[in-house]
Amino acid sequence: MSKLVTPHGGKLTPVLAPKEQRKELLAKAKTLSVVRMSSRETSDCLMLGMGAFSPLTGFMKKADYDGVINNMHLSNGLAWPLPVTLAATKAQADAITVGSEVALVDDESGEYVAIMTIADKYGYDKEKECKTAFFTNDGGHPGVQKVMAQGEVYLGGDIVTFSELGYDEKYAGYYAHPAETRALFESKGWSTVCAFQTRNPLHRSHEFLCKIGNEVCDGLFLHPIVGKLKKGDIPAEVRFECYKAHMENYFNPATIEMRVYPMEMRYAGPKEAVLHAIFRQNFGCSHLLVGRDHAGVGSYYTAYQAQEIFNEFKTGEILCQPIKVTSSFYCKRCDGMATDKTCAHDPSEHINISGTKVREMFGRGELPPLEFGRKEVLEILTRYYQALDNK
């Protein structure tokens, strides 16, 4: 019988209400004062709801926030790299009393998502948070922009969610909670599972990394993010079709599963890599593939900073361990994919691949060569970019 890694903190702590209670909770929420959530806060609310952020059961109170900011640990000593917070303006916070309940509403759609019991209200230093979370306070960083634009007071407390904003219907069959993926992996007899995080369609380097993970573990878990991304990233609906095409044509269906999740990217590089490992542990994964510039953006992080940060945690603090892979490329002399570790041919023989480069080529109306991506995937992306050009 398979035995998966235990959830972070020992057990899953989902706060999504059973379906039969959700209508009643929605009616109750509509009688409460409203706190409107940014898209990132909404996505965190959904992750809390399904238990992906276990053992968290709500937005962080001051003691946990301070621990995370100062030493990447919750107040109880459990490893946690990034704040999970809900911001309000000072005027909003002053009108809310500790111990009261408020309705959490997604600001973009206007939909009610959760009820929160306010346990704490506290100020925080935006500059300090940005420097510790993103290693920069540069206004060009998308994560920094979000923090600097939000209210100056954090509201902490437990939540009960009663909506998944339609993700479960939109991605029916491919949208799963941690308890569900754990049951899936166990049904397949997997004890070790390697997760691959992606916000881009898979190119040949991604495929190469995935197959390394698939060799090391019993199964591969392709786990794309379908929450909000930065401007210029390829929409989730298009990427979803690319993932399915890739899986159907270039992977062994017996040893790979794909499910999506609703979080919004923070682009926090190293610390986001740690967060990715922690919540993949909750989904049942023993390993996470961490390649070059994981969860990065621009030039804010060094190439392998997201690998190095795992050395700052003690053995056993995070059970989902990184599989650290050096930069991969297509080598014309090798006639296949390789890495700096396995190939010593002159760099002039290498075709370097990146999601950014692929997007730039499509943006110029150029079709990337097959060394960049698989034919079926490139065809889907070609149709997407041609449709953009025709708008």
Q: Provide the domain limits for residue 138.
A: 19-167
Is residue 279 helix, strand or coil? helix
- Assess if residue 279 is contained within a domain: yes
Which residues have a Cβ under 8 Å from the Cβ of 60 and sit 6 or more positions away?
68, 83, 84, 85, 154, 156
- Assess if residue 5 is contained within a domain: no
Entry field: residues in the chain: 391
Residues 243 and 286 placed together within one structural domain of the fold: yes
Structure tokens at 83: 């704040």
Task: Give the pLDDT score at 184.
Answer: 98
C-beta of residue 130 within 8 angstroms of C-beta of residue 144? yes
- Assess if residue 13 is contained within a domain: no
Which residues have a Cβ under 8 Å from the Cβ of 364 and sit 6 or more positions away?
none
* Residue 81 CA neighbour count, 13 Å, CB half: 23
Does 199 participate in catalysis according to the annotation? yes
Residues 134 and 264 placed together within one structural domain of the fold: no
Give, for 49, the enclosing helix (H) or strand (E): helix 39-50
Task: Give the pLDDT score at 391.
Answer: 64
Residues 115 and 33 placed together within one structural domain of the fold: yes
C-beta of residue 259 within 8 angstroms of C-beta of residue 175? yes
Q: Residue 367, Cβ neighbours under 10 Å: how many?
A: 14
- Assess if residue 3 is contained within a domain: no
Does 200 participate in catalysis according to the annotation? yes
Is the Cα torsion angle 66, 71, 76, 79 positive or negative in sign? positive
Q: Determine the Cα–Cα distance for residues 290 and 173; give it in Å rounded to an integer.
A: 26
Which residues have a Cβ under 8 Å from the Cβ of 5 and sit 6 or more positions away?
281, 284, 285, 286, 319, 320
Which pLDDT tens digit goes with each residue over 295-341? 999 999 999 999 999 999 999 999 999 999 988 999 999 999 999 89
- φ/ψ bin of 238: left (φ > 0), alpha (ψ from -120 to 50), beta (otherwise): alpha
Q: What is the DSSP letter of 348?
A: G
Q: What is the DSSP letter of 260?
A: B
- Assess if residue 9 is contained within a domain: no
Q: Determine the Cα–Cα distance for residues 224 and 35; give it in Å rounded to an integer.
A: 29
Q: Give the amino acid at 112.
A: Y
Q: What is the dihedral of CA 185, 190, 191, 194, to 10 degrees?
A: -80
Residues 158 and 211 placed together within one structural domain of the fold: no
Residues 23 and 56 placed together within one structural domain of the fold: yes
Residues 215 and 353 placed together within one structural domain of the fold: yes
Residues 252 and 358 placed together within one structural domain of the fold: yes
* Residue 298 CA neighbour count, 13 Å, CB half: 15
pLDDT tens across the length of the chain (391 residues): 569 999 999 999 999 999 999 999 999 999 999 999 999 999 999 999 999 999 999 999 999 999 999 999 999 999 999 999 999 999 999 999 999 999 999 999 999 999 999 999 999 999 999 999 999 999 999 999 999 999 999 999 999 999 999 999 999 999 999 999 999 999 999 999 999 999 888 989 999 999 999 999 999 999 999 887 677 778 888 998 999 999 999 999 999 999 999 999 999 999 999 999 999 999 999 999 999 899 999 999 999 999 999 999 999 999 999 999 988 999 999 999 999 899 999 999 999 877 777 777 877 878 888 888 999 999 999 888 888 877 6
Q: What is the DSSP letter of 196?
A: E
Q: Determine the Cα–Cα distance for residues 13 and 281; give it in Å rounded to an integer.
A: 13
Looking up tokens 């993949």 gives 280
Instruction: Return the CATH number at 368.
Output: 3.40.50.620
End-to-end CA distance of the chain: 54
Catalytic-role residue among 200, 214, 239, 292 = 200
C-beta of residue 113 within 8 angstroms of C-beta of residue 165? yes
Residue that terminates a domain, selected from 106, 132, 167 = 167
- Assess if residue 7 is contained within a domain: no
Q: How many domains does the chain have?
A: 2
C-beta of residue 143 within 8 angstroms of C-beta of residue 267? yes
Task: Give the pLDDT score at 36.
Answer: 98
Residue that terminates a domain, selected from 135, 167, 199 = 167
Could you write out the DSSP letters of every residue in 221-253?
EEEEB-S---TTSPPHHHHHHHHHHHHHHHS-G
Is residue 223 helix, strand or coil? strand
Residues 229 and 325 placed together within one structural domain of the fold: yes
Residues 253 and 303 placed together within one structural domain of the fold: yes
Measured CA distances, 71 to 39, 191, 201, 267, 268 (Å):
26, 31, 34, 20, 16
Q: What is the dihedral of CA 156, 162, 167, 170, to 10 degrees?
A: -170
Spatial CA neighbour of 234 closest among 196, 200, 259, 197: 200
Q: Determine the Cα–Cα distance for residues 167 and 198; give it in Å rounded to an integer.
A: 18
Residues 292 and 331 placed together within one structural domain of the fold: yes
Catalytic-role residue among 22, 36, 76, 199 = 199
Looking up tokens 């909000």 gives 228
Which pLDDT tens digit goes with each residue over 172-227? 999 999 999 999 999 999 999 999 999 888 989 999 999 999 999 999 999 999 88
Structure tokens at 144: 């920094």
Structure tokens at 34: 């409203």
Task: Give the pLDDT score at 69.
Answer: 98
- Assess if residue 46 is contained within a domain: yes
Residues 130 and 196 placed together within one structural domain of the fold: no
Instruction: Return the CATH number at 27.
Output: 3.10.400.10
- Assess if residue 209 is contained within a domain: yes
Task: Give the pLDDT score at 357.
Answer: 78
**For residue 365, what are the β-bridge partners?**
none
Residue that terminates a domain, selected from 167, 192, 217 = 167
Residues 204 and 95 placed together within one structural domain of the fold: no
